[in-house]
Amino acid sequence: MDLLNTLVEKGLRRELPTREEALAVLATSDDELLDVVAAAGKVRRQWFGRRVKLNYLVNLKSGLCPEDCSYCSQRLGSKAEILKYTWLKPDEASQAAAAGVAGGAKRVCLVASGRGPTDRDVERVGRTIEAIKEQNEGVEVCACLGLLSDGQAERLREAGADAYNHNLNTSEATYEGITKTHTYADRVDTVQKAHAAGLSACSGLIAGMGETDEDLVDVVYALRELDSDSVPVNFLIPFEGTPLAKEWNLTPQRCLRILAMVRFVCPDVEVRIAGGREVHLRSMQPVALNIANSIFLGDYLTSEGQAGQADLDMIADAGFEVEGAGTTTLPAHRADALAAAGAVAAGGCGSQASAGCGSHDAAEGAGCGSHAGGCGPCGGHAVPEPAEPAEAAANQARTDLVAVRRRGAGTDLAPNA
């Protein structure tokens, strides 16, 4: 296909596709799907080889959030029977993180429910970051705490945070229909604060909430403009007890097209398959590794995921390798730009130019809190090996596909890693 040849060439040059080209990827037929995957795979291998980065979630504070994000099991008014607990102590969080690192995780994502952290919360998370890094040499730490106030990103970086996650989730045009207690602009502001502090920005989306193809392209183009280093792609889990419990709009084929579109628009960033891969990709998860170069290991925030060993087996069986701690994830031009931005931020500069996620140096082209994190939707993940197909009749909740997390952080049971 001329379209795919053009997209590959642009991806190898870090050049922004046109909106029409991005929309055309989402409109391809099932007969063309493997060609789409193969084309996206060429771009993925150019910048990331056959490496898969493993990330591990630690839910520092679960449930009881004042925000009303429709997709989230921790939202205000949620009837989902999830674990609810206040802040883990630093040593408890460090022990939870160690399980993920032992399983092969290179990055630990620290997530807390809530609109955003107080300054006291930032200090608490800072002590947790220090404890994790003392016990796990070389591990990356990403914080996901919701909306940030002035100065908080800088304090997290001083405490040792490497990255900050805050997803845009959906397009600006549709955001108000998903959440009313904060705005799309609030989210953009937090990502920009993380950038300005020299943190690696992690920001992504949630697909499957009833959005259009145009909405998906809009949010991915916005993520490129914000210059996110990592883009988690979440697939909505319609968690029983939330307003979106009956939204089942995804198929494995649709998910693969979405991932491919993200890869073409953001060719040289860490594209992470986050929430919902077990439910919506199902047996096609290994195919998706040809497009994405990052996943979460084991369980998630409020629900259980695929067994950690099954993740490792899947990666090996698909011919990929787990990215080692000594390997730099990002391509050199992005890693160098991030390091330079960090040095500038440490020197007191309060801003950082955004070049777009196709190119940190603009060579070509243009909290989690209650929210879904790059850390996957707070609403949860799925039980592996569902007994029935994931598609459901309209207006029916699928309680068989989502298992509430009852192990790991906040419990006395061993984590899944």
Residue 84's CATH number: 3.20.20.70
Name residues whose C-beta falls within 8 Å of residue 100's C-beta, 6 or more positions apart in sequence.
54, 56, 57, 58, 108, 297, 298, 415, 417
Q: Which residue has the tokens 């998630």?
A: 300
pLDDT tens digit sequence for 284-340? 999 999 999 999 998 767 666 888 999 999 999 999 999 998 899 999 999 999 999
* Out of 77-81, 288-292, 302-306, 395-399, least confident range: 395-399
pLDDT attached to residue 74: 63
Catalytic-labelled residue, pool 44, 69, 224, 378: 69
Catalytic-labelled residue, pool 44, 75, 107, 109: 109
* Known active-site residue 357: no
* Known active-site residue 157: no
Within a domain: 414:
no
Within a domain: 38:
yes
pLDDT tens digit sequence for 111-142? 998 889 999 999 999 999 999 999 998 999 99
Catalytic-labelled residue, pool 144, 202, 255, 375: 202
Q: What is the C-alpha to C-alpha distance for residues 167 and 178, in angstroms, rounded to an integer?
A: 13
pTM of the model: 0.88
pLDDT attached to residue 358: 52
Structural domain that includes position 275? 2-401
Catalytic-labelled residue, pool 72, 144, 266, 378: 72
* Known active-site residue 202: yes
Within a domain: 368:
yes
Catalytic-labelled residue, pool 44, 187, 263, 272: 272
* Residue 239 pLDDT level (bands cut at 50, 70, 90): confident
H/E segment holding residue 134: helix 119-135
* Residue 350 pLDDT level (bands cut at 50, 70, 90): very low
Within a domain: 392:
yes
* Known active-site residue 255: no
Six token digits for residue 258 = 């979405």
Within a domain: 72:
yes
Six token digits for residue 357 = 């996620």
How far does Cα 374 stand from its chain's mean position? 2
How many structural domains does the chain have? 1
| Percentage with pLDDT > 70 across the chain | 82
User: Can you tell me whether residue 67 is helix, strand or coil?
Assistant: coil
* Known active-site residue 272: yes
* Known active-site residue 375: no
Q: What is the C-alpha to C-alpha distance for residues 306 and 349, in angstroms, rounded to an integer?
A: 43
Check: CB of residue 250 under 8 Å from CB of residue 210. Answer: no
What is the rounded average pLDDT for all residues in the chain?
A: 86
| Residue (of 195, 183, 189, 109) closest to 149 by Cα position | 189
pLDDT attached to residue 78: 65
Within a domain: 46:
yes
Name residues whose C-beta falls within 8 Å of residue 212's C-beta, 6 or more positions apart in sequence.
none
46-69 mean pLDDT: 89
* Residue 390 pLDDT level (bands cut at 50, 70, 90): very low
Catalytic-labelled residue, pool 14, 142, 187, 375: 142
Name residues whose C-beta falls within 8 Å of residue 6's C-beta, 6 or more positions apart in sequence.
17, 21
Within a domain: 407:
no
* Known active-site residue 334: no
